[in-house]
Amino acid sequence: MTIQITVRLDDDLVQAVDALVAEGRARSRAAVVEVALERHLRRELATRDVEILRGDPSGTDLDALAAWSHQLPAPRGLD
């Protein structure tokens, strides 16, 4: 299932995304945004893991985040 959302982006970001699509490096604007969000969320998860391993469990209620990350597909490229 997918949900359509509306976001506002700076002109420069949109031009860069459109260039990726025009060059065939991404199939759509949505694909670029999806990959970027997935990478950001994985980075956030990794940062929290490091904090836990360091013994700095600020906000350690990670059950929901772990369940969510388990359902994500493996990382992929923009196409």
**Structure confidence by residue, pLDDT tens digits, 2-49:** 899 999 999 999 999 999 999 999 999 999 999 999 999 999 999 888
pLDDT band at 67 (very low <50, low <70, confident <90, very high): confident
Per residue, what are the HEC states of the chain?
A: CCCCCCCCCCHHHHHHHHHHHHCCCCCCHHHHHHHHHHHHHHHHHHHHHHHHHCCCCCCCCCHHHHHHHHCCCCCCCCC
pLDDT band at 76 (very low <50, low <70, confident <90, very high): low
Handedness of CA 35, 37, 41, 46 (dihedral sign): positive
> To the nearest whole percent, how much of the chain has pLDDT over 70?
84
Residue where the block lists tokens 């420069």: 12
